[in-house]
Amino acid sequence: MGVIALNRNEPSSIIAKYGANVKQLYLCASNLFYIMSLYAQRGVSAQKEEVHAAIQNLDQGLYPNAFCKLYADFLGGQSDYINIMHADGAGTKSILAYIYWKETGDASVWKGIAQDAIAMNLDDLLCVGIYDQILFSSTIDRNKSVITGEILSQVINGTQHFFNTLKTYGVNIEFLGGETADVGDVVRTIAVNGTMTARWPKAKLVTNDLIAPGQVIVGFSSHGKANYETEYNSGLGSNGLTSARHDVLSKEYATKYPETFESTLSDSVVYIGKNKVTDQLEIPGFGNISVGKLLLSPTRTYAPLVKAILTAHFDAVKGMIHCSGGGQTKCMKYLPGNMRIVKDNFMPIPPIFNLIQANSGANAREMYQVFNMGHRLEIFTEASKAETLISIAKNLGIDAQVIGRVEDCASKELVLKGDFGTETFSY
Protein backbone atom coordinates (compact mmCIF):
# COMPACT_ATOMS: atom_id res chain seq x y z
CA MET A 1 0.00 0.00 0.00
CA GLY A 2 1.31 3.43 -0.91
CA VAL A 3 1.51 6.47 1.35
CA ILE A 4 -1.76 8.34 1.72
CA ALA A 5 -1.46 12.11 1.92
CA LEU A 6 -3.82 13.20 4.64
CA ASN A 7 -5.54 16.58 4.45
CA ARG A 8 -7.49 17.56 7.54
CA ASN A 9 -9.54 20.08 5.59
CA GLU A 10 -11.07 17.52 3.21
CA PRO A 11 -11.66 14.17 4.99
CA SER A 12 -14.63 13.27 2.81
CA SER A 13 -12.54 13.28 -0.35
CA ILE A 14 -9.97 10.97 1.25
CA ILE A 15 -12.59 8.52 2.49
CA ALA A 16 -14.35 8.51 -0.88
CA LYS A 17 -11.08 7.76 -2.66
CA TYR A 18 -9.68 5.06 -0.38
CA GLY A 19 -12.77 3.60 1.26
CA ALA A 20 -14.43 3.74 4.67
CA ASN A 21 -11.71 1.60 6.26
CA VAL A 22 -9.30 4.51 6.03
CA LYS A 23 -11.56 6.76 8.10
CA GLN A 24 -10.14 5.63 11.43
CA LEU A 25 -6.60 5.96 10.11
CA TYR A 26 -7.37 9.46 8.98
CA LEU A 27 -8.85 10.48 12.30
CA CYS A 28 -5.92 9.03 14.25
CA ALA A 29 -3.35 10.78 12.09
CA SER A 30 -5.33 14.01 12.17
CA ASN A 31 -5.56 13.92 15.94
CA LEU A 32 -1.87 13.13 16.22
CA PHE A 33 -1.06 16.26 14.23
CA TYR A 34 -3.04 18.34 16.65
CA ILE A 35 -1.48 16.66 19.66
CA MET A 36 1.93 17.47 18.26
CA SER A 37 1.06 21.09 17.49
CA LEU A 38 2.23 23.36 20.29
CA TYR A 39 0.11 26.15 18.86
CA ALA A 40 -3.03 24.06 19.15
CA GLN A 41 -2.16 22.90 22.65
CA ARG A 42 -2.01 26.54 23.72
CA GLY A 43 -5.57 27.10 22.63
CA VAL A 44 -4.74 28.90 19.38
CA SER A 45 -5.41 27.97 15.77
CA ALA A 46 -3.20 29.17 12.92
CA GLN A 47 -5.95 28.38 10.40
CA LYS A 48 -8.86 29.66 12.56
CA GLU A 49 -11.02 26.67 11.58
CA GLU A 50 -13.74 27.37 14.14
CA VAL A 51 -13.93 31.05 13.19
CA HIS A 52 -14.33 30.23 9.51
CA ALA A 53 -16.97 27.63 10.34
CA ALA A 54 -18.91 30.19 12.37
CA ILE A 55 -18.97 32.77 9.58
CA GLN A 56 -19.42 30.48 6.59
CA ASN A 57 -23.06 31.45 6.14
CA LEU A 58 -22.39 35.20 6.19
CA ASP A 59 -22.29 37.38 3.08
CA GLN A 60 -18.83 37.04 1.49
CA GLY A 61 -18.97 40.52 0.03
CA LEU A 62 -18.72 41.74 -3.55
CA TYR A 63 -15.39 40.02 -4.25
CA PRO A 64 -15.09 36.65 -2.46
CA ASN A 65 -11.40 36.20 -3.39
CA ALA A 66 -10.34 39.61 -2.07
CA PHE A 67 -8.17 39.69 1.03
CA CYS A 68 -10.79 41.75 2.90
CA LYS A 69 -14.56 41.71 2.71
CA LEU A 70 -15.77 44.51 0.42
CA TYR A 71 -19.31 45.88 0.30
CA ALA A 72 -21.45 48.18 -1.77
CA ASP A 73 -21.08 51.88 -1.05
CA PHE A 74 -23.68 52.19 1.72
CA LEU A 75 -22.12 55.44 2.91
CA GLY A 76 -21.96 57.29 -0.40
CA GLY A 77 -24.47 55.47 -2.54
CA GLN A 78 -22.19 55.33 -5.59
CA SER A 79 -22.18 52.15 -7.67
CA ASP A 80 -18.52 52.55 -8.63
CA TYR A 81 -17.29 52.67 -5.01
CA ILE A 82 -17.06 50.15 -2.16
CA ASN A 83 -17.13 50.39 1.62
CA ILE A 84 -14.92 48.48 4.00
CA MET A 85 -14.83 48.15 7.78
CA HIS A 86 -12.02 46.04 9.14
CA ALA A 87 -11.12 45.06 12.72
CA ASP A 88 -7.87 43.61 14.07
CA GLY A 89 -5.38 44.11 16.86
CA ALA A 90 -2.06 43.40 18.52
CA GLY A 91 -3.23 40.05 19.91
CA THR A 92 -1.17 38.51 22.69
CA LYS A 93 1.82 40.69 21.86
CA SER A 94 0.52 43.02 24.58
CA ILE A 95 1.33 40.29 27.12
CA LEU A 96 4.95 40.35 25.97
CA ALA A 97 4.99 44.11 26.39
CA TYR A 98 3.60 43.66 29.91
CA ILE A 99 6.37 41.22 30.89
CA TYR A 100 9.07 43.42 29.36
CA TRP A 101 7.72 46.50 31.12
CA LYS A 102 7.55 44.71 34.46
CA GLU A 103 11.08 43.39 34.05
CA THR A 104 12.75 46.58 32.79
CA GLY A 105 10.47 49.49 33.70
CA ASP A 106 10.59 50.65 30.07
CA ALA A 107 7.08 51.85 29.20
CA SER A 108 8.06 53.00 25.71
CA VAL A 109 7.48 49.48 24.34
CA TRP A 110 3.76 50.16 24.55
CA LYS A 111 4.06 52.58 21.63
CA GLY A 112 4.97 49.55 19.55
CA ILE A 113 1.76 47.80 20.63
CA ALA A 114 -0.19 50.74 19.23
CA GLN A 115 1.66 50.33 15.93
CA ASP A 116 0.94 46.59 15.95
CA ALA A 117 -2.82 47.17 16.22
CA ILE A 118 -2.70 49.69 13.37
CA ALA A 119 -0.43 47.74 11.02
CA MET A 120 -2.45 44.54 11.35
CA ASN A 121 -5.49 46.49 10.16
CA LEU A 122 -3.77 48.70 7.62
CA ASP A 123 -1.75 46.01 5.89
CA ASP A 124 -4.89 43.94 5.33
CA LEU A 125 -6.49 46.97 3.66
CA LEU A 126 -3.36 47.42 1.53
CA CYS A 127 -3.95 43.97 0.05
CA VAL A 128 -7.21 45.12 -1.55
CA GLY A 129 -5.55 48.29 -2.84
CA ILE A 130 -6.57 50.78 -0.11
CA TYR A 131 -3.76 53.01 1.16
CA ASP A 132 -5.24 56.46 1.83
CA GLN A 133 -8.21 58.39 3.29
CA ILE A 134 -8.83 55.90 6.08
CA LEU A 135 -10.63 56.33 9.42
CA PHE A 136 -9.44 54.56 12.57
CA SER A 137 -11.14 53.89 15.90
CA SER A 138 -9.30 52.17 18.75
CA THR A 139 -10.68 49.69 21.29
CA ILE A 140 -8.66 49.19 24.46
CA ASP A 141 -9.71 46.80 27.21
CA ARG A 142 -7.57 46.87 30.35
CA ASN A 143 -7.29 45.48 33.82
CA LYS A 144 -6.86 48.71 35.74
CA SER A 145 -5.23 46.97 38.70
CA VAL A 146 -2.14 46.09 36.62
CA ILE A 147 -2.22 48.46 33.61
CA THR A 148 -1.48 52.05 34.62
CA GLY A 149 -2.52 55.36 33.13
CA GLU A 150 1.05 55.76 31.88
CA ILE A 151 0.61 52.72 29.68
CA LEU A 152 -2.70 54.01 28.33
CA SER A 153 -0.97 57.27 27.47
CA GLN A 154 1.83 55.45 25.65
CA VAL A 155 -0.66 53.43 23.58
CA ILE A 156 -2.98 56.32 22.70
CA ASN A 157 -0.23 58.84 21.97
CA GLY A 158 1.74 56.16 20.13
CA THR A 159 -1.25 55.71 17.85
CA GLN A 160 -1.26 59.36 16.81
CA HIS A 161 2.53 59.41 16.47
CA PHE A 162 2.43 56.51 14.03
CA PHE A 163 -0.26 58.19 11.97
CA ASN A 164 1.84 61.36 11.83
CA THR A 165 4.76 59.31 10.48
CA LEU A 166 2.61 57.66 7.81
CA LYS A 167 1.25 61.04 6.73
CA THR A 168 4.75 62.10 5.65
CA TYR A 169 4.60 59.23 3.13
CA GLY A 170 1.20 60.25 1.79
CA VAL A 171 -0.78 57.69 3.78
CA ASN A 172 -3.52 59.67 5.51
CA ILE A 173 -5.36 58.05 8.42
CA GLU A 174 -7.60 60.04 10.75
CA PHE A 175 -7.72 58.95 14.39
CA LEU A 176 -11.34 59.27 15.56
CA GLY A 177 -10.80 58.13 19.15
CA GLY A 178 -12.57 55.01 20.34
CA GLU A 179 -13.42 53.01 23.47
CA THR A 180 -11.17 52.53 26.50
CA ALA A 181 -12.78 50.22 29.03
CA ASP A 182 -11.72 49.02 32.46
CA VAL A 183 -12.81 45.38 32.37
CA GLY A 184 -10.58 43.54 34.78
CA ASP A 185 -13.10 40.71 35.05
CA VAL A 186 -12.65 40.08 31.32
CA VAL A 187 -8.94 40.69 30.63
CA ARG A 188 -5.96 39.89 32.80
CA THR A 189 -3.75 42.65 31.42
CA ILE A 190 -4.68 44.64 28.30
CA ALA A 191 -6.06 44.08 24.80
CA VAL A 192 -5.33 46.68 22.12
CA ASN A 193 -7.49 46.54 19.00
CA GLY A 194 -8.86 48.85 16.36
CA THR A 195 -11.20 49.26 13.41
CA MET A 196 -10.52 50.90 10.05
CA THR A 197 -13.10 52.24 7.61
CA ALA A 198 -12.73 53.54 4.06
CA ARG A 199 -14.52 54.25 0.75
CA TRP A 200 -12.60 53.27 -2.36
CA PRO A 201 -13.20 53.25 -6.12
CA LYS A 202 -13.84 49.80 -7.60
CA ALA A 203 -11.45 50.58 -10.47
CA LYS A 204 -8.55 50.73 -7.99
CA LEU A 205 -9.25 47.52 -6.09
CA VAL A 206 -7.01 44.45 -5.93
CA THR A 207 -9.38 41.48 -5.69
CA ASN A 208 -6.99 38.55 -6.39
CA ASP A 209 -9.25 37.48 -9.26
CA LEU A 210 -6.36 38.02 -11.69
CA ILE A 211 -3.97 35.56 -10.02
CA ALA A 212 -3.14 32.94 -12.68
CA PRO A 213 -0.58 30.28 -13.67
CA GLY A 214 2.56 31.70 -15.23
CA GLN A 215 2.84 34.56 -12.74
CA VAL A 216 5.64 34.99 -10.22
CA ILE A 217 5.39 35.91 -6.55
CA VAL A 218 7.49 38.78 -5.20
CA GLY A 219 8.11 38.60 -1.46
CA PHE A 220 8.88 41.71 0.57
CA SER A 221 11.03 41.30 3.65
CA SER A 222 9.48 41.60 7.09
CA HIS A 223 12.79 42.35 8.84
CA GLY A 224 15.74 44.72 8.67
CA LYS A 225 15.31 48.49 8.82
CA ALA A 226 13.09 50.27 6.31
CA ASN A 227 13.74 53.96 5.63
CA TYR A 228 10.67 54.87 7.68
CA GLU A 229 11.66 52.74 10.69
CA THR A 230 13.83 54.01 13.54
CA GLU A 231 15.40 50.70 14.58
CA TYR A 232 15.94 47.10 13.52
CA ASN A 233 12.76 45.13 12.93
CA SER A 234 12.95 41.43 13.78
CA GLY A 235 10.17 40.63 11.29
CA LEU A 236 7.97 38.78 13.75
CA GLY A 237 4.87 40.93 13.28
CA SER A 238 1.77 40.22 15.39
CA ASN A 239 0.99 36.63 14.52
CA GLY A 240 2.15 33.55 16.35
CA LEU A 241 3.04 35.51 19.48
CA THR A 242 1.40 32.98 21.78
CA SER A 243 3.86 30.36 20.59
CA ALA A 244 6.78 32.77 20.28
CA ARG A 245 6.33 33.90 23.89
CA HIS A 246 5.98 30.43 25.38
CA ASP A 247 8.61 28.84 23.13
CA VAL A 248 11.35 31.36 23.86
CA LEU A 249 10.84 32.63 27.40
CA SER A 250 11.87 30.87 30.59
CA LYS A 251 9.60 29.01 33.00
CA GLU A 252 10.37 31.60 35.68
CA TYR A 253 7.86 33.96 34.05
CA ALA A 254 5.06 31.48 34.74
CA THR A 255 5.73 31.88 38.45
CA LYS A 256 6.32 35.63 38.40
CA TYR A 257 3.43 36.55 36.10
CA PRO A 258 0.59 33.99 36.29
CA GLU A 259 -1.71 36.66 34.86
CA THR A 260 0.06 36.26 31.49
CA PHE A 261 -1.29 32.83 30.54
CA GLU A 262 -4.39 30.68 30.70
CA SER A 263 -4.35 28.76 33.97
CA THR A 264 -5.81 25.59 32.44
CA LEU A 265 -2.87 25.11 30.05
CA SER A 266 -0.57 22.18 30.62
CA ASP A 267 2.66 23.15 32.31
CA SER A 268 4.47 21.36 29.46
CA VAL A 269 3.54 24.14 26.99
CA VAL A 270 3.85 27.19 29.28
CA TYR A 271 7.10 29.19 29.02
CA ILE A 272 9.22 26.27 27.88
CA GLY A 273 12.15 28.29 26.52
CA LYS A 274 15.61 29.15 27.77
CA ASN A 275 15.64 32.93 27.53
CA LYS A 276 14.90 35.99 29.60
CA VAL A 277 13.64 39.16 27.93
CA THR A 278 16.92 40.86 28.80
CA ASP A 279 19.15 38.22 27.15
CA GLN A 280 21.11 39.56 24.18
CA LEU A 281 21.17 38.13 20.66
CA GLU A 282 23.68 39.30 18.07
CA ILE A 283 22.02 40.54 14.90
CA PRO A 284 24.47 40.87 11.98
CA GLY A 285 24.86 44.52 11.06
CA PHE A 286 22.90 45.75 14.08
CA GLY A 287 24.85 44.50 17.10
CA ASN A 288 23.32 42.96 20.21
CA ILE A 289 19.58 43.34 20.75
CA SER A 290 17.62 41.97 23.69
CA VAL A 291 15.33 39.01 23.14
CA GLY A 292 12.47 41.08 24.53
CA LYS A 293 13.01 43.84 21.97
CA LEU A 294 13.22 41.30 19.14
CA LEU A 295 9.93 39.72 20.17
CA LEU A 296 8.37 43.19 20.53
CA SER A 297 9.58 44.70 17.25
CA PRO A 298 6.61 46.78 16.07
CA THR A 299 4.86 45.18 13.11
CA ARG A 300 6.24 46.62 9.89
CA THR A 301 3.64 48.34 7.75
CA TYR A 302 4.12 48.17 4.00
CA ALA A 303 1.89 51.22 3.43
CA PRO A 304 4.56 53.56 1.96
CA LEU A 305 5.70 50.74 -0.35
CA VAL A 306 2.24 49.68 -1.50
CA LYS A 307 1.19 53.28 -2.15
CA ALA A 308 4.30 53.80 -4.29
CA ILE A 309 3.63 50.59 -6.24
CA LEU A 310 -0.10 51.07 -6.77
CA THR A 311 0.08 54.73 -7.76
CA ALA A 312 2.71 54.04 -10.42
CA HIS A 313 2.18 50.39 -11.42
CA PHE A 314 -1.37 49.42 -10.49
CA ASP A 315 -1.84 47.17 -13.53
CA ALA A 316 1.24 45.13 -12.59
CA VAL A 317 -0.40 43.90 -9.37
CA LYS A 318 -2.53 40.80 -10.02
CA GLY A 319 -2.94 39.82 -6.38
CA MET A 320 -1.66 40.73 -2.94
CA ILE A 321 -1.39 38.70 0.26
CA HIS A 322 -0.58 39.72 3.83
CA CYS A 323 1.12 36.65 5.35
CA SER A 324 -0.48 37.10 8.76
CA GLY A 325 -2.53 34.36 10.46
CA GLY A 326 -1.61 31.15 8.68
CA GLY A 327 1.87 32.35 7.78
CA GLN A 328 3.11 31.06 4.46
CA THR A 329 -0.13 29.13 3.85
CA LYS A 330 -2.27 32.29 3.97
CA CYS A 331 -2.30 32.77 0.19
CA MET A 332 -4.28 29.59 -0.42
CA LYS A 333 -7.50 31.09 0.94
CA TYR A 334 -7.67 33.71 -1.82
CA LEU A 335 -6.93 31.89 -5.07
CA PRO A 336 -9.56 32.33 -7.80
CA GLY A 337 -9.29 28.70 -8.97
CA ASN A 338 -7.24 25.52 -9.02
CA MET A 339 -3.49 26.14 -9.26
CA ARG A 340 -0.25 25.22 -7.56
CA ILE A 341 1.66 27.80 -5.55
CA VAL A 342 5.37 27.02 -5.32
CA LYS A 343 7.59 29.01 -2.96
CA ASP A 344 11.11 27.67 -3.29
CA ASN A 345 13.29 30.77 -3.13
CA PHE A 346 12.78 32.09 0.39
CA MET A 347 14.86 34.92 1.76
CA PRO A 348 17.32 34.04 4.53
CA ILE A 349 15.34 33.26 7.67
CA PRO A 350 15.54 36.12 10.22
CA PRO A 351 17.28 35.27 13.51
CA ILE A 352 14.05 35.55 15.52
CA PHE A 353 12.52 32.52 13.77
CA ASN A 354 15.66 30.46 14.26
CA LEU A 355 15.53 31.36 17.95
CA ILE A 356 11.89 30.27 18.20
CA GLN A 357 12.53 26.98 16.42
CA ALA A 358 15.66 26.22 18.43
CA ASN A 359 13.75 26.67 21.68
CA SER A 360 10.57 24.82 20.73
CA GLY A 361 11.78 22.14 18.36
CA ALA A 362 8.74 22.91 16.19
CA ASN A 363 8.82 21.14 12.82
CA ALA A 364 8.91 22.91 9.46
CA ARG A 365 5.18 22.48 8.89
CA GLU A 366 4.25 24.27 12.07
CA MET A 367 6.79 27.07 11.52
CA TYR A 368 5.45 27.71 8.01
CA GLN A 369 1.85 27.70 9.20
CA VAL A 370 2.35 29.99 12.17
CA PHE A 371 5.02 32.51 11.13
CA ASN A 372 5.81 34.64 8.07
CA MET A 373 9.38 33.25 8.01
CA GLY A 374 10.94 36.40 6.58
CA HIS A 375 8.43 38.01 4.23
CA ARG A 376 4.98 39.26 5.28
CA LEU A 377 3.79 40.73 1.96
CA GLU A 378 3.42 38.92 -1.37
CA ILE A 379 2.53 40.43 -4.72
CA PHE A 380 1.54 38.24 -7.67
CA THR A 381 2.73 39.74 -10.95
CA GLU A 382 4.09 38.99 -14.42
CA ALA A 383 7.76 38.02 -14.49
CA SER A 384 8.55 41.09 -16.61
CA LYS A 385 7.24 43.41 -13.86
CA ALA A 386 8.96 41.80 -10.88
CA GLU A 387 12.19 43.77 -11.02
CA THR A 388 10.31 47.07 -11.08
CA LEU A 389 8.48 46.20 -7.85
CA ILE A 390 11.69 44.94 -6.25
CA SER A 391 13.47 48.20 -7.12
CA ILE A 392 10.74 50.32 -5.49
CA ALA A 393 11.04 48.26 -2.31
CA LYS A 394 14.81 48.54 -2.15
CA ASN A 395 14.58 52.31 -2.56
CA LEU A 396 12.60 52.28 0.69
CA GLY A 397 15.14 50.07 2.45
CA ILE A 398 13.03 46.90 2.14
CA ASP A 399 14.63 43.79 0.69
CA ALA A 400 12.59 41.93 -1.93
CA GLN A 401 12.95 39.11 -4.43
CA VAL A 402 10.98 36.61 -6.49
CA ILE A 403 10.21 33.90 -3.95
CA GLY A 404 7.97 31.65 -6.01
CA ARG A 405 5.55 31.12 -8.88
CA VAL A 406 2.07 29.99 -9.89
CA GLU A 407 1.68 26.75 -11.85
CA ASP A 408 -1.15 24.86 -13.55
CA CYS A 409 -2.73 22.20 -11.38
CA ALA A 410 -5.95 20.17 -11.28
CA SER A 411 -6.46 21.15 -7.64
CA LYS A 412 -5.20 23.74 -5.16
CA GLU A 413 -1.73 22.85 -3.91
CA LEU A 414 1.02 24.63 -2.02
CA VAL A 415 4.70 23.65 -2.01
CA LEU A 416 7.05 25.35 0.46
CA LYS A 417 10.77 24.66 0.16
CA GLY A 418 13.33 26.41 2.32
CA ASP A 419 15.94 26.03 5.05
CA PHE A 420 13.37 24.46 7.35
CA GLY A 421 12.60 21.72 4.82
CA THR A 422 9.97 21.02 2.18
CA GLU A 423 6.27 20.80 2.94
CA THR A 424 3.34 20.15 0.61
CA PHE A 425 -0.27 21.13 1.36
CA SER A 426 -3.40 20.07 -0.54
CA TYR A 427 -6.69 21.97 -0.35
Report the 3 state secondary structure along 38-57: HHHHCCCCCCCHHHHHHCCC
Given a cut of 80, whether residue 279 has pLDDT beyond it is yes
For the chain, what percent of residues have pLDDT higher than 70? 88
The whole domain housing 209 covers 49-233+296-426
Intra-chain end-to-end CA distance of the chain, in Å: 23
Kindly report, residue by residue over 137-190, the tens digit of the pLDDT.
999 999 999 999 999 999 999 999 999 999 999 999 999 999 999 999 999 999
Nearest to 111 by CA among 161, 146, 184, 176: 161
Distance between CA atoms of residues 55 and 208, nearest Å: 21
CATH code assigned at 129 = 3.30.1330.10
- Is 38 a member of any domain? no
For the chain, what percent of residues have pLDDT higher than 90? 84
Kindly report, residue by residue over 232-274, the tens digit of the pLDDT.
999 999 999 998 999 999 999 999 999 999 999 999 999 999 9
Across 132-168, b (16+ Cβ under 10 Å) vs e yields: bebebbbbbbbbeebbeeebbebbbebbeebbebbee
Given a cut of 50, whether residue 3 has pLDDT beyond it is no
Kindly report, residue by residue over 394-420, the tens digit of the pLDDT.
999 999 999 999 999 999 999 999 988
For residue 220, what pLDDT band results from cuts at 50, 70 and 90? very high
Distance between CA atoms of residues 99 and 258, nearest Å: 11
- The domain tally of the chain equals 1
- Is 275 a member of any domain? no
- Is 411 a member of any domain? yes
Given a cut of 90, whether residue 109 has pLDDT beyond it is yes
Predicted pLDDT of residue 43: 63
8-33 mean pLDDT: 44
- Is 359 a member of any domain? yes
- Is 147 a member of any domain? yes
Mean predicted lDDT score pLDDT of the chain? 90
For residue 50, what pLDDT band results from cuts at 50, 70 and 90? confident
Distance between CA atoms of residues 132 and 122, nearest Å: 10
- Is 149 a member of any domain? yes
- Is 188 a member of any domain? yes
Task: Confirm if 194 and 175 have CB atoms less than 8 A apart.
Answer: no
Predicted pLDDT of residue 337: 98
Predicted pLDDT of residue 23: 42
- Is 23 a member of any domain? no
319-345 mean pLDDT: 97
Given a cut of 50, whether residue 7 has pLDDT beyond it is no
Task: Confirm if 277 and 289 have CB atoms less than 8 A apart.
Answer: no
- Helix%, strand%, coil% for the chain, nearest 5: 40, 20, 40
Cα 392 to its chain centre, rounded Å, is 22
